Structure formats: C-alpha cells, structure tokens
C-alpha cells in the first residue's frame, strides 16, 4: 500500500537540493547526473540533491 501524500510533488531540478515532508521528491532527466536521496525516519523528512557530474552538459 502506498502512503497518501495528498499528491504533493516537489520537483528537484539540476543543481538543486530540496527538502520535503509528506511529499514526493522527484528528479526528471537524471541522464549523466546523480540523484542523492536521504530520509530521516524519526523526523519523517526527506531530501534530494540532483547533482551534475563535472565535465557533462545538460
């Protein structure tokens, strides 16, 4: 069963870091980038970084 987040979606663009609670963090077009996600289960908050690798271009 999926958790109900009320359809709140937070877009994480290239070079951005975003934090959310009761939301879905989403990064599109990862390609040669790296997406790093973390979740604190005690505070129930998540974060995502969309990082472009050095020497690559969008």
- Our count of domains for the chain comes to 1
What is the sign of the dihedral through the CA atoms of 37, 44, 2 and 16?
negative
Residue 2, in any domain of the structure: no
Residue 36, in any domain of the structure: yes
Residue 3, in any domain of the structure: no
* Predicted local confidence at residue 1, as pLDDT: 44
Residue 13, in any domain of the structure: yes
Model pTM above 0.75: yes
* Predicted local confidence at residue 56, as pLDDT: 53
Residue 46, in any domain of the structure: yes
Token pair in block for residue 27: 């990064």
Tell me the pLDDT tens digit for each residue of 6-58: 679 999 999 999 999 999 999 988 888 999 999 999 999 999 999 998 875 55
Residue 57, in any domain of the structure: no
Residue 56, in any domain of the structure: no
* Predicted local confidence at residue 55, as pLDDT: 76
* CA gap 38, 23 in Å, rounded: 13
* Predicted local confidence at residue 29, as pLDDT: 86
* Predicted local confidence at residue 32, as pLDDT: 85
Boundaries of domain holding 43: 9-51
């Amino acid at each position: 069963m999926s958790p109900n987040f009320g359809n709140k979606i937070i877009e994480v663009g290239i070079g951005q870091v975003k934090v959310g609670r009761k939301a879905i963090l989403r990064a599109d077009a990862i390609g040669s980038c790296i997406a790093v996600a973390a979740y604190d289960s005690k505070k129930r908050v998540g974060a995502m970084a969309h990082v472009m690798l050095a020497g690559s271009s969008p």
